[in-house]
Structure 1
Amino acid sequence: MSANNVTQSEPAAAKWYQQFWPWFLIVLPGIVVIASIVTVVIALTHSDNLVRDDYYKEGLAINRYLAQDEAALAMKLVAEGQLSKQGFIQISLRGNSIPLHQHLLLNWQHPTDENLDFQTVLLRDGSHHYSAQVKHDIDSRWYLALSPYDDGEQHQWRLKVEFDAKNSANFIMHSQSSNRETQ
């Protein structure tokens, strides 16, 4: 046979779905879509509780907080607290013309998880000495706010401090100027 008569068969072109590049170009946007859906699901199921929902109520309470801070500053209040390993807390108040209260309220605010926030009511066991048993795990950092807790009476003053129970069992709360910033 002659070489001219032999037809060279060309390889048949593979179908598009058998090629690598079309699938590569389809998979990349597909991964982005799936990752976006997962991100939306995570965002909707795990809401960020660091942001307060009740801005209006917080706005109304700012003046009350400022008045409490100024009242504590006028009385030159200082609270010294000590926490035992068994969870027993003792607080002593010092200052000018401190009214005697039967109870004090200590608010424990966790810096990242509001579900861990709680309150402790301290009972007076001396002239200006108060104590209570804390029934929560407090082995972390907290924002503490101390104020009077008497039935039917507005909180007249407030002391605040940041307390890290891992580093120290003692804390001191000084009366401070509010500087128009509150918690």
Structure 2
Amino acid sequence: MKPATPPITPWYRQFWPWLLICLPGVVVIASIATWIIASRTADDEVDKDYYKVGLTINRDKGKEDQARQLGVQANLMLGEQGLIRVYLRSKNALTAEPLELFLQHPSRQAYDQRVQLKPIGPGLYEGQAQPLRAGRWYVDLSSKQWQVRGEAHYPQQGPLDLAAP
């Protein structure tokens, strides 16, 4: 009597071929997902004119020194709907000129904003920005002669104090 041969099962009902097919398939799907993520969230480009940017940084250092000499301090309130109020103090009298506020997002250049602040009273300035995204922001407040800096976490409780470093 011949020994009984086990029934032959077709390849698609066995485990090993499917394992060998799925591993490369998962890699292909992960590669496509990575490509989609990379194409939708492109990195910001490095400034092509980096030399001029460097010169601007040196000029800004002079403005910070001037703010330190004048004793400029500012309290900044970032409102819910983008309303910005600044109360400005100084050892010396400052002229009531418009100020520029630069709100810089740490990682997304598209969210950066420049806001012109107009004087509405003695040492009080106001302006309107686009609503900010929650998170960390770098803040530069400047006039033609001086500049003060700080860092804000939006939304925040209370005013942000800005002063020359």
- Return the letter of the residue paired with 2:59: R
Residue by residue over 1:63-88, the C-alpha shift from the partner in whole angstroms, topping out at 9 and shown as x without a partner, is: 12222222222222111234556654
Which residue, 25, 30, 52 being the options, matches 1:30? 25
Counterpart code for 1:22: P
- How many residues in Structure 1 have an aligned counterpart in Structure 2? 162
Q: Structure 2 vs 1, CA of residues 11 and 175 (structure 1 numbering), >3 Å: closer, same or farther?
A: same
The two structures have a TM-score, normalised by structure 1, of 0.70
Distance verdict in 2 for CA 1:107–1:42, change over 3 Å:
same
**Which 10-residue stretch deviates more, 14-23 or 35-44?**
14-23
User: What is the alpha-carbon distance in structure 2 between the residues aligned to residue 91 and residue 8 of structure 1?
Assistant: 95
Q: Supply the RMSD in Å over aligned alpha carbons.
A: 2.9
Counterpart-to-counterpart distance in 2, 1:93 and 1:163: 17
| C-alpha distance in 2 between matches for 1:130 and 1:8 | 98
Question: 2-side partners of 1:7 and 1:131: how far apart?
Answer: 99
Offset at 1:8? 4.2
Q: Counterparts in 2 of 1:20-169, with a 5 A limit?
A: 20-49=15-44, 53-54=46-47, 56=50, 57-83=52-78, 88-97=83-92, 99-132=94-127, 134-138=128-132, 140-141=134-135, 142-148=137-143, 155-169=144-158
Q: Compute the TM-score of the two structures, normalised by the length of structure 2.
A: 0.76
Aligned counterparts of 2:155 and 2:62: Cα–Cα separation in 1: 32
List runs of 5+ in structure 2 lacking aligned partners: none
What amino acid does structure 2 have at the position aligned with 1:53? V
Contact 2:142–2:148 (8 Å) recurs in 1: yes
Give CA deviations for 1:117-156 in whole Å, capped at 9, x if unaligned: 2222111234433223x242247343221011xxxxxx43
Structure 1 residues 135 and 60: CA distance shift in structure 2, 3 A: closer
The alpha-carbon distance between structure 1 residues 146 and 12, as it changes in their structure 2 partners (threshold 3 A), is same
Instruction: Determine helix, strand or coil for the equivalent of 1:125.
Output: strand
Partner Cα distance (1:45, 1:82) in 2: 33
Give percent identity, aligned residues only.
34
Greater gyration radius: 1
Which stretch has the larger CA shift, 15-24 or 64-73? 15-24
